[in-house]
Amino acid sequence: MMERGHNPQAARDHNRALILRLIRDAGPTSRAELARLSRLSKPVVTDIVDGLIRFKLVKETTKGEAVLGRKPILLDINREALWVMGIDLSRNHVDLLITDLLGEPQRKMSRRVSFEDEDAGYPERVVKYVTDIIRDSGVDPARIAGIGIGYPLPLSHAQRMIVSEGQVVGWKTVRLKELIQKEFDVPVYLDNDANVAALYEKWYGQASEFKDFLFVLVGNGVGCGIVIGGNIYRGTHGIAGEIGHMSIDPNGPRCLCGSRGCLETLVSVPRLLSQVLEEDVKAGREGGVPTLEQVCERAARGDAAVVDKIREMSEYLAIAITNLVNTFNPEAVVVGGAMARLGESLRAPLLGALASRAHPLFADKTKVVLSNYSEEAVARGAAMLVIESFFQNPQRYVPELANGARSRASAES
């Protein structure tokens, strides 16, 4: 690809975003330190900072060590300058979260839904939930920077429904981005739940120290967020990481995709619960389908039937993870989603299964860790879609930043 130079405005935009990110990562910090870190001149840094303060994205603070009795003036992100919305659009619930510019949650709303049972009008219901949480939060909608949405693929097996901006043969498609963007007139970002959960792990979880890692999400299905060089790898058509349909057992159960023995047919929370129920029925136990909490408790007590089913799933999951490690050679694999709530009951058999399959070259070079399960992981990760974009291109969210710079440049010429 041919490289292109930066015109003066593009260079100013780049430098402004750089200074904003440095304040985020190193703040509270001084103007002199920003000049040192950015290698920009002090006058340039001062001009950029003045603009960021003028539009209330950055604030001055007197935190820090006093020098000769005088506290230094430092700079920090005004985290409440704008608000961000993250949505976890699941097959059985919709969670909505409002965060500040550093991703800290401020308000949360959750609704139980079932996209497997019905599809009529549900995109409009999601828009209503977004409207409700904005109203309940007391935040001025004009101060919402953008909305990020994480969703599973497909959204509904039974209804053959997917979130997509284009038509897909044989599937009902929901143009969710178009609907929400039209309603609120703010940037809207969509990505699959595994990718946004990987973003959560990158910023807040077990993967904060890694640049190259895989996040394996095991919940109602299985997905994988692939992070290379600190960035999500999505593939040519945006569906990289759909490991739920990796073939594990060619003679295994029929999958809804039409194939047999896909990972998702062998490893998932619903699969685990149904298998434990089968064992309970055989043993004459009553009580219906157990909850995941009950299965976690029984596993911790060493319940033989539960431990055996977890071990079996660990074997299948280990096959998939081994294939991924051999393909991507990551620093780490983080296993998360609701299944991670099993804790040591999952970690021990999984590590054992991986040890028996690992390639000698990778055996001791790739860390495998469990995520510290958070119900907010997908919603907060979805919010990070907006936040990462904001810190790369702040003038998109505050156009006056660029307009002000152009006005000053014209006045000086």
Q: Dihedral sign for Cα 115, 382, 340, 228, please.
A: positive
Among 244, 257, 88, which residue's Cα sits nearest to residue 163?
Answer: 88
Same domain flag for 46 and 185: no
Q: What is the DSSP string of 31-44?
A: HHHHHHHHT--HHH
Tokens read off for 7 = 């015109």
Can you give the pLDDT at residue 237? 81
Site of tokens 């510019």: 101
Instruction: Report yes or no on 222 lying in a domain.
Output: yes
Same domain flag for 225 and 318: yes
71: left (phi over 0), alpha (psi -120 to 50) or beta: beta
Can you give the pLDDT at residue 168? 57
Cβ neighbours, 10 Å, residue 222: 28
Same domain flag for 123 and 240: no
Instruction: Report yes or no on 212 lying in a domain.
Output: yes
- Cα distances from 120 to residues 42, 152, 178, 180, 181, in angstroms, run 58, 19, 17, 17, 20
Same domain flag for 300 and 218: yes
Number of domains in the chain: 3
Can you give the pLDDT at residue 346? 94
Instruction: Report yes or no on 167 lying in a domain.
Output: yes
Same domain flag for 72 and 127: no
Site of tokens 């498609």: 173
Buried residues in 333-354 as b, exposed as e (16+ CB within 10 A): bbbbbbbbbbeebbbebbbebb
Instruction: Report yes or no on 201 lying in a domain.
Output: no
Measured between alpha carbons, how far is 101 from 104 in angstroms, rounded to an integer? 8
Same domain flag for 239 and 366: yes
Same domain flag for 290 and 190: no
Instruction: Report yes or no on 26 lying in a domain.
Output: yes
C-beta of residue 134 within 8 angstroms of C-beta of residue 185: no
Same domain flag for 178 and 281: no
Task: Report the greatest alpha carbon distance in the chain.
Answer: 87
Same domain flag for 171 and 242: no
| Averages of pLDDT over each 10 residues, the chain, 413 residues | 60 93 93 94 94 95 65 90 91 86 92 65 70 78 90 65 60 74 88 94 94 95 95 90 92 88 94 94 88 95 95 95 93 94 94 86 84 91 96 93 58 42
What is the pTM for the complete model shown?
A: 0.87
Instruction: Report yes or no on 408 lying in a domain.
Output: yes
Same domain flag for 66 and 117: no
Instruction: Domain of residue 16: give its range.
Output: 8-80+398-412
Instruction: Report yes or no on 89 lying in a domain.
Output: yes
Per-state percent for the chain, helix, strand, coil, to nearest 5: 45, 20, 35
Same domain flag for 58 and 162: no
Tokens read off for 142 = 């004009």
Instruction: Report yes or no on 3 lying in a domain.
Output: no
User: Which phi and psi (to 5°) does residue 405 adopt?
Assistant: -65, -40
CATH number at residue 60: 1.10.10.10
CATH number at residue 292: 3.30.420.40
Same domain flag for 225 and 296: yes
Buried residues in 151-171 as b, exposed as e (16+ CB within 10 A): bbbbbbbebebbbbeeeeeee
Cis peptide before 28 (omega within 30 of 0): yes
